[in-house]
Amino acid sequence: MVDLFLRLKENAALLWYEKTTYCLLCGNVSEEAVCLICQQAYFFPNLPRCGSCGKILAETKTRCRNCEAGKGPEGLDKVTCLGYYKGAWKELVQQIKYKGQPYLVTSLAEVIIPWVIRCLPPPDAVVPVPMHPDRLAQRGFNQAEVLASIISRQLAIPYQNLLDRMKDTIPQTTLGRRQRLRNLRDAFSVKPGYSDLREIVWLVDDVVTTGSTLEECAGVLKKNGVKKVYAFCLGAGKEE
């Protein structure tokens, strides 16, 4: 009778304390934040990325067609993205950005950290792409800052929030590459008082499309003494 009671007690404890985790993308039970099926469907871990803009490539090469034709961002030493910005992955990134759920980025650390370690050389600092103060006041947080701070904390790399966004530019999503570059001209600057800029930085943002934002930020960083700028983002396009 005592043994039976102890077994019942142990089973009850398991039912009470055991936490079932679910994939953030498909909702199925998973031991990881993103299940292996969704990782294959959206992260394409075996496919290369365009080193200039981060786009996922279907072929074994180092640059996409746009970047080979000179239509991609310049001034970055390498860009990599975690996943294909479509479907459930796009919905999750937008949920983080627009529905006030930055805490979800913490759950993604287990897939983000191995990726950046594998794809990028060690940096001296992690730098987020800034948001204009007016936009920040509306949203309440900058998703790039959340992402950069988690990477910094997990890898014990200094976090430097050293860029300012001087212009509240119109949304980039409706613009072509040339229009984006004009829209972003003189939009960024190094914050006053920053003199100790590191030689190698990881520039962090949520999504890269044409790469114009990363290009402008990298240009400002390099004008102020940074030697190498490598960029990481959660999502990018995929070349078929």
Tens of pLDDT, residues 120-129: 999 999 999 9
Task: Report phi then psi at 75, rounded to 5.
Answer: 90, -5
- Res 3: pLDDT: 53
Tell me which residue has tokens 């950046």: 116
Tell whether the model's pLDDT for residue 15 goes beyond 50: no
Residue 18 CB neighbour total at 10 angstroms: 7
Q: Which residue has the tokens 């990325």?
A: 49
Contact 131, 151 (CB under 8 A): no
In degrees rounded to 5, what are phi and psi of residue 89?
A: -70, -40
- The structure tokens listed for 117 are 């370690």
Half-sphere exposure of 55 (CA within 13 A, CB side): 23
Which residue, among 78, 82, 73, has the nearest Cα to 51 in the 3D structure?
78
Q: What share of the chain is helix, strand, coil (3-state, %, to 5)?
A: 40, 20, 40
Q: Pseudo-torsion of CA 108, 142, 189, 168, nearest 10°?
A: 130
Confidence class of residue 151 from pLDDT cuts 50, 70 and 90?
Answer: very high
Contact (CB, 8 A) for 212 and 173: no
- Examine the pLDDT at 18 and tell me if it is beyond 80: no
> Inter-axis angle of helices 143-155 and 104-119, to 10 degrees?
60
Which are the contacts of 24, defined by CB distance < 8 A and separation ≥ 6?
33, 34, 92, 104, 107, 108
Other CB atoms closer than 10 Å to residue 80's CB: what's the count? 22
- The pLDDT of residue 30 is above 90: yes
Better pLDDT: 181 or 51: 51
What's the pTM?
0.86
**pLDDT per residue as tens digits for the range 163-217:** 999 866 655 555 555 665 566 667 899 998 776 678 999 999 999 988 989 999 9
Q: Is the pLDDT of residue 26 over 50?
A: yes
| 151 or 7, which is more confident | 151
pLDDT above 80 (res 231): yes
